[in-house]
């Protein structure tokens, strides 16, 4: 028996250990509901808007793109192993805005994201992204507490 409540689920991933619980929840719900899973990563280009475009910026952009591919492809691999239809999505811009815009334009029924990012300032940023998405999304958002002691 599959659910008709969730047909498309978006999970925000950053590839961190702390984000694993959000990914696990997304897969469990996708299996139970028979939903398609979107594994999404947002390259925060807004954070670099004030930096002049030079070789350093381009190198950072390339590094973030590689990180995005690794993070989304790891979720896709796990999903495929579990028999879940999964599509990777790499977005660019302000993370909260991009997640909301993508989910509204792609008939997503549920957004799943963690509260903790990788380390230090990233934790603060991902927490603020989760808050922005939760406050502004027109669809349900499941925010999953990560394990802060995992590094």
pLDDT along the chain (151 residues), means of 10: 84 90 96 96 78 68 89 97 98 94 97 72 60 94 76 41
pTM of the model: 0.86
Closest CA to 113 of 142, 76, 134: 142
Query: What pLDDT was estimated at residue 124?
Result: 46
Q: What is the pLDDT of residue 85?
A: 97
What CATH class has 8-144?
alpha beta
Which is nearest to 151 in space by CA: 124, 123, 114?
123
| Of 8, 13, 2, 28, nearest in space to 117 by CA | 13
Q: What is the model's pLDDT at position 49?
A: 63
């Amino acid at each position: 028996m599959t659910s008709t409540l969730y047909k498309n689920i978006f999970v925000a991933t950053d590839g961190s250990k702390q984000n694993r619980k959000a990914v696990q929840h997304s897969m469990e719900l996708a299996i139970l509901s028979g939903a398609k899973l979107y594994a999404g990563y947002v390259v925060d280009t807004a954070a670099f808007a004030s930096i002049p475009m030079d070789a350093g910026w381009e190198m950072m952009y390339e590094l973030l793109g590689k990180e995005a591919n690794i993070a989304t492809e790891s979720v896709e691999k796990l999903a495929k192993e579990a028999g879940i239809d999964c599509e990777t999505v790499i977005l660019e811009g302000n993370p909260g805005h991009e997640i909301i815009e993508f989910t509204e334009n792609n008939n997503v029924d549920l957004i799943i994201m963690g509260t903790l990012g990788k380390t230090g300032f990233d934790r603060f940023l991902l927490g603020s992204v989760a808050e922005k998405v939760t406050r502004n999304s027109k669809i349900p958002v499941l925010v999953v507490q990560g394990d802060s002691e995992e590094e």
